[in-house]
Structure 1
Amino acid sequence: MQTQNKYTQTDLLITRITAWIAGVIAIGLAVWGVIALIELYSYEETNDAQVEEYINPVTSRVTGFIREIKYEENQDVRKGDTLLIIDNSEYQLQQEEGEAALSNAQAQIQVLESNVATSAKMSQASQSQIASARAKLTRAQQDYDRYSKLFKVESATQQQLENSRAALDVATSEYRSAQENYQASLSKVNDIRSQKGVYEAEIKRRQALLNRNKLDVGYTIIRAPYNGKMGRRTIQQGQLIQAGQTLAYIVDQDAGKWVIANFKETQISHMHIGGTAEVTADAFPGKKFKGTIVSLSPATGARFSLLPPDNSTGNFVKIVQRIPVKIKLTESPDVLAQLRAGMNANISIKKD
């Protein structure tokens, strides 16, 4: 009888402990339920989100063999750091050829200016010949006039008159020839000067080609466009690369990081640009990052897909669409350094 009472008291104790445990669990579930309802009422949440950064390709602007690679995979680089060097032997020869062609065009200008000076001196000489021919013509005219008067008074012969006339004709012809030679020399000077514009245009063309050759030489050294972190390396020293070929990828650390969160269309009514958000990365579940809404997509994600759905075909099934929301992470770069592009994240935005 005593044993029976003892078991009854033990069962009673177990029952009480079980009841207390069940009560605590019920209270915990009730508290959790209340918190969940408050959060559901006060916040919009989604786990359809990923961390994003600008990841840009590093491409070559010239064709050539890789001489040296200056970076390793996942290496931090600063703006202006040399990433790789391409063999520039051919481009250096093209630059030297361009410099020689430019020097030749500039020398042609000097030759042209020398020809202008020579032609100008010849023109001055022709002008002096005009003065001499004019003096001869004046003298021949005077002789002819004098013999004409003497012939009228029969103090000169017909032959003397004819000789003076012939001398006058010769002097007249020489004077006209000297004038024509002078005009021709002036025309030659103008013709040579008009060629100067052609040579100057050629110099500009040669200078442009030389500048392009210098650019090609400069393009053989590929530098980091900004502070960032290099991605996977897929090239080797001695490899032939083509102009426009992607050589590597670099993550832009200066542009910051953001999250693209795809909220349901029924959730965005309480969101606006400038609203605050809390971000939790799956990789760091106990750490929260602050963010600010900077933009909402003008269309659903489906509309930007390769094959947007067409509900007019008759196969219509209503599906809740997703609206991409861009959230800029506002933490310091040191805090955000642990996040990587492509990481999954959970977003919580307080309703206004």
Structure 2
Amino acid sequence: MFKLFRSTASIAALILGIAGIILILYAWRLPPFTSSVQTTDNAYVRGQVTIISPQLAGYVAEVAVQDFQRVKAGHLLVKIDDRIFEQKLKQAKATLASQQAALANSEQKRLSDEARIASSEAQVASAQAALTAAEANWNRIEPLLERGVTTQSQADQARATFDQATAALHQAEAAQEVARQDLASTLVNRQSLEAAVQGAEAAVHLAEIDLQNTRIVAPQDGRLGEVGARVGQYVAAGTQLMALVPEKVWIIANFKETQLAGMKVGQPVTFTVDALQHAELTGHIERFSPAAGSEFSVLRADNATGNFTKVAQRVPVRIAIDPDQPLAERLSPGMSVVVSTDTAAGVSGVPSTGVTSQAQNPNEQP
């Protein structure tokens, strides 16, 4: 009887030991219980959270939205007191008008200088004709004076007339050159005035931009976070007024490096959301991080030490959420999810690209 009892106890202990070993193998997914399904609870909903800030300083005149409100692109969020900026715009426009008037005056002066050049050319032609006539008269009188046919006074008068005509021609030519130089100076000054007009136009555009920036509007559709702006508050450029969360969200799942074997872009993914009573949604792998998460940390661990314990690193995997899922509209950035993917599943609709090829594209944008 005692031997039978010992035999039964030994068999029971053996059975319990085998059951324990099987349980451990199953819990750790060791052969023969290995599975192609990889799961991680280190996963969260992500989105492009945009911080709304003013581009200029001033007092808040109006806050047109409330906390957590849904807005459309172009919707007025906050308005800054614009009285100073309106006056700056008027001042810039007045300066532009003054510069344009100076440019128009320069154009009128150019036309006047061109007219003076035409007049000086006519004076040169007239002086040239007078010189020709005086020279002809002198050439006639000079031989007569040598033969005593004419008087010395007539010869002196003819000579004086010839000299005066020569001087008048030189004067007319000098006046013509002065007119040409005045025109050249006007043309050079015109370039400066044109640059001044362009600068004044740029100042008007800048003043218009500043006036427009007093109206802070939503850059895209989305929902607001907590609104921190208050009427009468003085804000400076860069002051955080509120956050805007666009509608598009995705999942970032941090898988262990030992789980990545067999994962490919396009593989189907299922995930449950803690905030939705663990409701199950679907998605697919979109891309892999170019490096492990530890490589992006501010203070990177230095493993070159005497004491070293190997720790499996986490590699972020971006997961796109499949469309036409009603519950997907309730996902918000920061929610916790549990992600599962079958590495043995095929890829549908997306080229099969593994971790290595994805790591060659670190500059891809969301």
| 1:135 partnered with 2:129 | yes
Question: CA shift at 1:285, angstroms?
Answer: 3.2
Residue in structure 1 matched with residue 252 of structure 2 by the alignment = 260
Q: Tell me, in whole angstroms, the C-alpha distance in 2 between the residues paired with 1:261 and 1:54.
A: 16
- Quickly say closer, same or farther: Cα 1:227–1:192, change in 2 above 3 A: same
Q: Greater shift after overlay, 198-207 or 222-231?
A: 198-207
Q: Tell me, in whole angstroms, the C-alpha distance in 2 between the residues paired with 1:131 and 1:267.
A: 100
Q: Tell me, in whole angstroms, the C-alpha distance in 2 between the residues paired with 1:334 and 1:222.
A: 32
Residue in structure 1 matched with residue 148 of structure 2 by the alignment = 154
Q: 1:273 aligns with which of 262, 265, 278?
A: 265
Matches within 5 A, 1:1-352: 41-253=35-247, 256-332=248-324, 334-352=326-344
Counterpart residue type for residue 337 of structure 1? E
Tell me the SS of whatever aligns to 2:337: strand
Contact 1:289 1:331 in 2 (8 A): no
Q: What's the Cα RMSD here?
A: 2.2
1:6-52: CA deviations, max 9, x gaps? xxxxxxxxxxxxxxxxxxxx9xxx9xx89x99996141111111111
Identity of aligned residues (%): 29
Q: Tell me, in whole angstroms, the C-alpha distance in 2 between the residues paired with 1:82 and 1:218.
A: 12
**Structure with the largest fraction of helix:** 1
1:151-170: CA deviations, max 9, x gaps? 12211233332332122111
Question: CA shift at 1:112, angstroms?
Answer: 1.0
Q: Runs ≥4 in structure 1, deviation > 4 angstroms? A: 36-40
Tell me the SS of whatever aligns to 1:85: strand
Q: Tell me, in whole angstroms, the C-alpha distance in 2 between the residues paired with 1:40 and 1:85.
A: 61
Tell me the SS of whatever aligns to 2:304: helix
From the CA coordinates, give the structure whose radius of gyration is larger: 1
Counterpart residue type for residue 53 of structure 1? G
Contact 1:64 1:242 in 2 (8 A): yes
Question: CA shift at 1:172, angstroms?
Answer: 0.9
Superposition TM-score, scaled by structure 2 size = 0.82
Counterpart residue type for residue 44 of structure 1? Q
1:255-314: CA deviations, max 9, x gaps? x22111111221111211111111101122342110111122222222221111111122
Contact 1:258 1:329 in 2 (8 A): yes
- Quickly say closer, same or farther: Cα 1:219–1:155, change in 2 above 3 A: same
Q: Tell me, in whole angstroms, the C-alpha distance in 2 between the residues paired with 1:111 and 1:39.
A: 93
Structure 2 residue runs of 5 or longer lacking an equivalent are 1-18, 345-366
- Quickly say closer, same or farther: Cα 1:121–1:333, change in 2 above 3 A: farther
Q: Tell me, in whole angstroms, the C-alpha distance in 1 between the residues paired with 2:53 and 2:66.
A: 16
Tell me the SS of whatever aligns to 1:266: helix
Counterpart residue type for residue 56 of structure 1? T
Contact 2:267 2:343 in 1 (8 A): no
Question: CA shift at 1:194, angstroms?
Answer: 2.5
Residue in structure 2 matched with residue 22 of structure 1 by the alignment = none
Tell me the SS of whatever aligns to 2:128: helix
- Quickly say closer, same or farther: Cα 1:321–1:130, change in 2 above 3 A: closer
Q: Greater shift after overlay, 60-69 or 298-307?
A: 298-307
- Quickly say closer, same or farther: Cα 1:229–1:151, change in 2 above 3 A: same
Counterpart residue type for residue 68 of structure 1? E
Contact 1:62 1:216 in 2 (8 A): yes
Q: Tell me, in whole angstroms, the C-alpha distance in 2 between the residues paired with 1:155 and 1:239.
A: 108
